[in-house]
Amino acid sequence: MSPSPEAIAVGAILFVVIAAYALFGGADFGGGIWDLLAGGAERGAAPRELIDESITPVWEANHVWLIFILVLLWTSFPPAFAAIMTALFVPLSLSLLGIMLRGAGFAFRHTAQRLELRQLTGAAFAAASLITPFFMGTIVGAVATGRVPVHPAGNVLAAWTSATAILTGFLFVAACGYISAVFLVIEAQQRGHQDLTRYFSRRATAAGLVTGPLAGATFAEMSASAPYVFNRLTGIALPLVAVSIAGGVAVLGLLWLRWYHALFLRATAAIAVAAVVCGWGLAQYPFLFPASLTLAVGSAPTASLVAELIVTGLALLLVAPGFALLYYLHQRRMLTEADSDADLRLAAHVGQAGLPGQAGQASGTAPAPGPASARSRTTTGLVLALLTIRAIREMLARSRRR
Amino acid sequence: MGALAHVLAVDPVPARSQMGSSLGFHIILACFGIAFAAVTMIAEWIGIRRGDAAALLLARRWSKVMAVLVAVGAVSGTVMSYEMGLLWPGLMGRFGAAIGVPFSIEGIFFFLEAIFVGVYLYGWRRLPPWVHWWSGMPIVVGGILGALSVVAANSWMNSPAGFTLRDGKITSVSPVSVFFNAATPYETTHMLLAAYMVTGFLVAGVYAVGLLRGRRDRYHRLGFAIPFTVAGIAAPLQVMMGDVIARFVATNQPVKFAAMEYVPRTTRDAPEWLGGIFINGHVYFGAAIPAFDSILVGFSPHTKVIGWDSVPAAQRPPLVTLIHLSFNVMIGMGLFLFALAAWQGWWWWFHRRLLLTPWFLVPSAVSGVAAVTAMEAGWVVTEVGRQPWIVYRVLLVRDAVTPAAGVPVTLGVILSLYAVLTVVSIGIPLIMSRRWRQQPAAEEDAEQVPYGPSPAWAATTGTAPATGTGTPAAMGTASTAGTAASAATGQATTGPDSQ
Q: Map chain A to HEC letters.
A: CCCCHHHHHHHHHHHHHHHHHHHHHHHHHHHHHHHHCCCCCCCCHHHHHHHHHHHCCCHHHHHHHHHHHHHHHHHHCHHHHHHHHHHCHHHHHHHHHHHHHHHHHHHHHCCCCCHHHHHHHHHHHHHHHHHHHHHHHHHHHHHHCCCCCCCCCCCCHHHHCCHHHHHHHHHHHHHHHHHHHHHHHHHHHHCCCHHHHHHHHHHHHHHHHHHHHHHHHHHHHHHHHCHHHHHHHCCCCHHHHHHHHHHHHHHHHHHHCCCCCHHHHHHHHHHHHHHHHHHHHHHHCCEEECCCEEHHHHCCCHHHHHHHHHHHHHHHHHHHHHHHHHHHHHHCCCCCCCCCHHHCHHHHHHHHHHCCCCHHHHHCCCCCCCCCCHHHHHHHHHHHHHHHHHHHHHHHHHHHHC
Residues 6+ apart with CB under 8 A from B348: B354, B355
* pLDDT the model gives residue B241: 92
Q: Phi and psi at residue B10, in whole multiples of 5°?
A: -105, -15
Quick: pLDDT tens for A7-29. 888 888 999 999 999 888 888 88
- Give residue B19's identity as a one-letter amino acid code: M
- Give residue B230's identity as a one-letter amino acid code: V
- Judging contacts by C-beta atoms under 8 Å, the chain B residues touching residue A392 are 240
Task: Say whether B147 sits in a helix, a strand or coil.
Answer: helix
Quick: pLDDT tens for B485-499. 333 333 333 333 333
Residue A243 Cα distances to A218, A269, A272, B293, B357, angstroms = 18, 11, 7, 71, 72
* pLDDT the model gives residue B474: 35
Among A109-123, A299-313, B193-207, B253-267, which range has the highest average pLDDT?
B193-207
Task: Say whether B279 sits in a helix, a strand or coil.
Answer: strand
* pLDDT the model gives residue B118: 82
Whether the Cβ atoms of residue A328 and residue A58 lie closer than 8 Å to each other:
no
Residue from the list A75, A152, A344 with its beta carbon closest to the beta carbon of B103: A75
- The kind and range of the H/E element at B288 are strand B282-289
- Give residue A58's identity as a one-letter amino acid code: V
Task: Say whether B468 sits in a helix, a strand or coil.
Answer: coil
- The kind and range of the H/E element at B135 are helix B129-135
Question: Which residue in A180, A189, A337, A190 sits closest to B450, CA to CA?
Answer: A337
* pLDDT the model gives residue B487: 37
> Count of H helices and E strands in chain B?
20, 6
Residue B363 Cα distances to A58, A255, B224, B228, angstroms = 40, 64, 13, 12
Whether the Cβ atoms of residue B121 and residue B67 lie closer than 8 Å to each other:
yes
Task: Say whether B221 sits in a helix, a strand or coil.
Answer: helix
Residue from the list B95, B247, B442 with its beta carbon closest to the beta carbon of A341: B442
Calpha distance A325→A187 (Å, rounded) = 17
The alpha-carbon radius of gyration of chain A (Å, integer) is 27
Distance from CA of A245 to the nearest CA of B (A): 32
Calpha distance A349→B470 (Å, rounded) = 9
Beta bridge partners of B169: B166
C-alpha torsion sign, points A351, B117, B421, A46? negative
Calpha distance A134→B488 (Å, rounded) = 51
Task: Say whether B274 sits in a helix, a strand or coil.
Answer: strand
For B299-350, give the DSSP string: SSTT--B--GGGS-GGGSPS-HHHHHHHHHHHHHHHHHHHHHHHHHHHHHHH
Interface test with A, best of B21, B40, B63, B126 (most A CBs within 10 A): B126
B377: left (phi over 0), alpha (psi -120 to 50) or beta: alpha
Peptide linkage before A286 cis (omega within 30 of 0): yes
Quick: pLDDT tens for A131-179. 999 999 999 988 888 888 888 888 888 888 888 889 999 999 999 999 9
Among A190-204, A223-237, A342-356, B183-197, which range has the highest average pLDDT?
B183-197
* pLDDT the model gives residue B476: 34
Q: At what angle do helices B53-87 and B407-438 cross, to 10 degrees?
A: 170
Task: Say whether B366 sits in a helix, a strand or coil.
Answer: coil
* pLDDT the model gives residue A59: 79
Residues 6+ apart with CB under 8 A from A299: A3, A4, A6, A7, A10, A11, A76, A77, A305
Per-window interface: B 226-285 vs A, CB < 8 A: 240, 244, 247, 251
Per-residue pLDDT averaged across B160-178, rounded? 85
CA atoms within 13 A on the CB side of B155: 26
Instruction: Find the residue in A nearest to B10 (Cα).
Output: A154
Average confidence score pLDDT of chain B: 81
Calpha distance A222→A230 (Å, rounded) = 6
Instruction: Find the residue in A nearest to B400 (Cα).
Output: A82
Alpha helices in B181-319 (DSSP H): 184-212, 218-252, 254-261, 292-298
- Judging contacts by C-beta atoms under 8 Å, the chain B residues touching residue A301 are 97, 170-173
Q: Calculate ∠ Cα B373-B379-B383, nearest 5°.
A: 150
Interface test with A, best of B115, B166, B296, B416 (most A CBs within 10 A): B115
* pLDDT the model gives residue A111: 67
Q: For B367, which DSSP code?
A: H
Task: Say whether B383 sits in a helix, a strand or coil.
Answer: helix
Residues in chain B: 499
**B137 vs A: CB within 8 A:** no
**B457 vs A: CB within 8 A:** yes
* pLDDT the model gives residue B441: 54
Calpha distance B464→A175 (Å, rounded) = 35
- The kind and range of the H/E element at B6 are helix B2-10
Residue from the list B74, B108, B299 with its beta carbon closest to the beta carbon of A103: B74
* pLDDT the model gives residue A115: 64
Quick: pLDDT tens for A270-306. 998 899 889 888 888 888 888 888 888 888 888 888 8
Per-residue pLDDT averaged across B171-181, rounded? 87
Residue from the list A48, A81, A303 with its beta carbon closest to the beta carbon of B175: A303
* pLDDT the model gives residue A169: 92
Distance from CA of B1 to the nearest CA of A (A): 19
* pLDDT the model gives residue B462: 36
Instruction: Find the residue in A nearest to B56 (Cα).
Output: A347
For B65-124, give the DSSP string: HHHHHHHHHHHHHHHHHHHHHHH-HHHHHHHHHHHHHHHHHHHHHHHHHHHHHHHHHH-T
Which pLDDT band, with edges at 50, 70 and 90, does B43 fall under? very high
Interface test with B, best of A51, A75, A325 (most B CBs within 10 A): A75
Per-residue pLDDT averaged across A354-379, rounded? 45
* pLDDT the model gives residue A354: 36
